[in-house]
Amino acid sequence: MAHQTSATPDLLAYVREVSLRDDDLLRELREVTAELPGGTAMQVMAEEGQLLALLVGLTGAGRVLEIGTFTGYSTLCMARALPADGLLVSCDIDDRWPSVGADFWKRAGVDSRIDLRIGDAAGTLDALLAERGPGGFDLVFIDADKANYVRYYEASLALVRPGGLIVVDNTLFFGRVLDPNAVDPDTAAVRELNRLLHQDPRVEVSLLVMADGITLARKR
């Protein structure tokens, strides 16, 4: 059985050279984010942003839900991949960090496609289910507080249409999922979600060994 190729810095540089399609606006937002407290650790990789945009196109998504905005880099990537009449609803607990990305959304000409919801994510998800009913979204991206991952996943299953896609970030959680001494609520919640996804008959699932672990779950 073949083993995963180790992503050395040189190999990652090669992958970026032959695969990453970057631009000045995305680079600038990444640079601004990297200067913030915890910015480098919390921001999705450029390759992941490109993958998210690809998944929006592959699924033909017109309605996307993002749980966890931060500075809006992934928001920008997905919004640019939407059709002109598409909608991306992004949820965050505070507008401090999303406000960083708002100017970039406007400069990219996609701000009209983005509906930013500020407040407790669980409450926002309940409100969206009441507004749009079950199956109101084509794709959901989960990248928020890890302790509530299982709750967000269950809410996403109700909100995404049959055949729709749920993308969950940080499912390897810096390798902490393998550390028996890591018993904090965040790590425990990621482990719990991974076990649930592995056995959940409601979805088809694949955990990609990329970035910090990206799980794709397609609703049956």
Output the pLDDT for position 150: 98
Confidence band (pLDDT; 50, 70, 90) for 121? very high
Confidence band (pLDDT; 50, 70, 90) for 165? very high
Q: Alpha-carbon distance 154 to 172, whole Å?
A: 19
Residue type, 37: P
**Secondary structure (DSSP) of the chain:** ---PPP--HHHHHHHHHHH----HHHHHHHHHHHTSTTHHHHSPPHHHHHHHHHHHHHTT-SEEEEE--TTSHHHHHHHHHS-TT-EEEEEES-STTHHHHHHHHHHTT-GGGEEEEES-HHHHHHHHHHHH-TT-EEEEEE-S-GGGHHHHHHHHHHHEEEEEEEEEE-SSGGGGGG-TT--SHHHHHHHHHHHHHHH-TTEEEEEE-STT-EEEEEE-
Residue 34 near residue 43 (C-beta atoms within 8 A): yes
- The Cβ of residue 34 has, within 10 Å, a number of other Cβ atoms equal to 12
Which of the listed CATH numbers 3.40.50.150, 3.30.70.260, 3.40.50.720, 3.90.550.40 matches domain 9-38+45-219? 3.40.50.150
**Region 103-120 average pLDDT:** 98
Query: Phi and psi of 66, rounded to 5°?
Result: -120, 125
Q: Alpha-carbon distance 188 to 31, whole Å?
A: 31
Rounded to two decimals, the pTM is: 0.95
Q: Where are the domains of the chain?
A: 9-38+45-219
Residue 19 near residue 46 (C-beta atoms within 8 A): no
Output the pLDDT for position 41: 87
Q: What tens digit of pLDDT does each residue of 174-200 get?
A: 999 999 999 999 999 999 999 999 999
Confidence band (pLDDT; 50, 70, 90) for 8? confident
Distant-in-sequence, close-in-space partners of 54: CB < 8 Å, separation ≥ 6: 81
Map tokens 């959680």 to a residue. 173
Indicate the average pLDDT of the chain: 95
Residue 194 near residue 170 (C-beta atoms within 8 A): no
Q: How many angstroms separate the Cα of 69 from the Cα of each of 6, 157, 215?
A: 30, 19, 18
Strand partners, 165: 139, 218
